Amino acid sequence: MKILLLEDDLILNEIIEEHLLLQNHQITTVFTGIQAQDLLYSQKFDLLLLDVNVPLLNGFELLKELRQREILTPAIFLTSLNQIDDIEKGFKAGCDDYIRKPFELKELDIRINNIKRLFNLDSEELIEISKNLFFDKKNLLIKKENEQIHLAKKECEVLEYLINNSSKTVSIEELSLNVWAYEEAPISSTIRTYIKNLRKVLGEEYIINLRGVGYRFNKKWKKYILKIFITISWCIFYFDGVNCTALL
């Protein structure tokens, strides 16, 4: 993973950097909030590791600003601020995890691996969309039964973002800010064309179009349809279809 580390303690910064390099991550280190801010508006990262009490711009304010701009890169705070109010403030700023100093490097590995699992950040693994449908991020492929369909790079990035944010509806603006974060953003019709192509490859049922709102990735649609079918069949058999919706 490509990780940005913001830590103003020189020794701790070096220790964390060396450890994560041994875990085969790509690490960029900075010591002030402004340095981090400059990089975050010019490069893309998979994960942010942020100290809070750093010079020029603290970690809470930095992350809050990123979230307001709908830059949703996963973030973990690494901080000596260990009061419950501090933790609450960190999560309100938009973090995905909060580690209190001092901490073991093994704990950091565990937390990073959990973020990788939650956000599908391990590019070496296939993402299973359904039983016979897989997304191969590394090779820009959709594997559909015995067929392999090549995707354009931006189509892959759009699909990956939708999958990683499948718990919510994603607007065109959010896609533009996060997939094209450091490039000239395309017009909205171009993004819609990418999504139209993805729906054609995957099947329209996997990317739901909520008109006027955005798009939602629907990974488990088949299980839900099966549940509806079984429930309705059961209701028809026993209750002649009465009040079936209460069981869905």
CATH number at residue 32: 3.40.50.2300
In this prediction, residue 65 has a pLDDT band, given cuts at 50, 70 and 90, of: very high
Contact 67, 170 (CB under 8 A): no
Q: Tell me if 210 is assigned to some domain.
A: yes
Q: Pick the more confident residue, 133 or 13.
A: 13
Identify the pLDDT of residue 134: 86
Residues 114, 74 share a domain? yes
Residues 113, 142 share a domain? no
Identify the pLDDT of residue 70: 82
Residues 31, 12 share a domain? yes
Q: Tell me if 179 is assigned to some domain.
A: yes
Q: Pick the more confident residue, 127 or 194.
A: 194
Residues 103, 27 share a domain? yes
Q: Tell me if 222 is assigned to some domain.
A: no
Q: Which helix (DSSP H) or strand (DSSP E) does residue 220 occupy?
A: none
Q: Tell me if 247 is assigned to some domain.
A: no
What is the rounded distance in angstroms from the CA atom of residue 180 to the CA atom of residue 159?
Answer: 13
Residues 113, 24 share a domain? yes
Identify the pLDDT of residue 87: 95
- Given 69, 99, 119, which residue is the final one in a domain? 119
* Pick from 74, 84, 81, 95: nearest CA to 52: 81
Identify the pLDDT of residue 240: 55
Identify the pLDDT of residue 128: 79
Phi, psi (deg, nearest 5) at residue 30: -140, 165
Q: Which helix (DSSP H) or strand (DSSP E) does residue 169 occupy?
A: none
Q: Structural domain of residue 195, as residue ranges?
A: 130-217
Q: Tell me if 238 is assigned to some domain.
A: no
Phi, psi (deg, nearest 5) at residue 157: -65, -40
Domain count, the chain: 2
Q: Tell me if 235 is assigned to some domain.
A: no
Contact 97, 189 (CB under 8 A): no
